[in-house]
Amino acid sequence: MHLNPERAGLVDGGEIAVESYQWSSLVQAYAKSPAKRPDWIAVAETMDLFQNKDTAAGRRKFLEGLNEGVREEKGIRPVDEETIGERIKRGWFWGTESFKEAMLELYDTQAKTKSLKGNGVHQSSGLLKDHAEVSAKAILEAAVKHFGATRDELKVPIRGDMARAAVAFRIHQNTRVSQSWIANALEMKSAANVSRQIYVFRRIDDNTLAPKIRKWIKIKDF
């Protein structure tokens, strides 16, 4: 949002810095001390997400980072042979990996209290995809501990052992990753095979399952 003035050709991140655009919260809040800005703008929280402190130096660093982003988006200085603009077009966030993790953690907290259906965020968006993969990987790690096996051991099909199908079932049940993702993570050949094994697992009488698998499918949080 703060890069929109650049996209409109109003700033360049150099001689005309982003904070020179007067109709922006950058000027009205982010460039000012707490006593001089509206208290309803969450400056401190945003600064923290970008790993800056809400101090004069921290706010200056935040603005410098935005100006750098503007210059990179204009193609003035590529980062890792790719401009900020190109990276934004591919993903849903701009910032460090720790910022990304913080956003996903915040999203996860909200997702647990709200239904994702109809919340205006498309299920195929980068945010949901990343969130789904983080959740799926957490389930895989939980499975490793629960079944006392390594990730590689979980991938090995054992005749009569439903552990791998149980893990696939929980990932499918608790996340939005594709069945192709599950197939790749657990080496289950194809999405069609994952779908078939989940279908079979759903219809097995829980009382016939091994105790460890019965406990596994009752775990609520990962």
State the average pLDDT over residues 1-9. 73
For residue 82, report the phi and psi dihedrals to the nearest 5 degrees. Answer: -145, 135
Is residue 46 over pLDDT 50? yes
Q: What is the pLDDT of residue 78?
A: 44
CATH class in words for 128-216:
mainly alpha
**pLDDT of 159-185, one tens digit each?**
667 899 999 999 988 887 888 899 999
The answer to whether the beta carbons of residues 173 and 146 sit under 8 Å apart is no
Q: What mean pLDDT comes out for the span 62-74?
A: 74
Query: The pTM is what?
Result: 0.49
C-alpha distances out from residue 70 to 17, 52, 120, Å: 9, 19, 28
**DSSP SS3 for 82:** strand
- Percent of the chain at pLDDT > 70 equals 73
**For residue 118, what pLDDT band results from cuts at 50, 70 and 90?**
very low
**Residues 144-153: tens digit of each pLDDT:** 999 988 878 8
Q: List, for residues 84-94, the tens digit of each pLDDT value.
A: 555 555 555 66
**What Å distances lie between residue 50 and 101, 141, 154, CA to CA?**
11, 28, 38
Domain boundaries in the chain? 4-90, 128-216
**Residues sharing a CB contact under 8 Å with residue 165, sequence separation 6 or more, in sequence order:** 197, 198, 200, 201
pLDDT of residue 182: 92
Would you give the distance in Å from CA 184 to the centre of its chain? 20
Checking if the pLDDT of 158 tops 80, the result is no
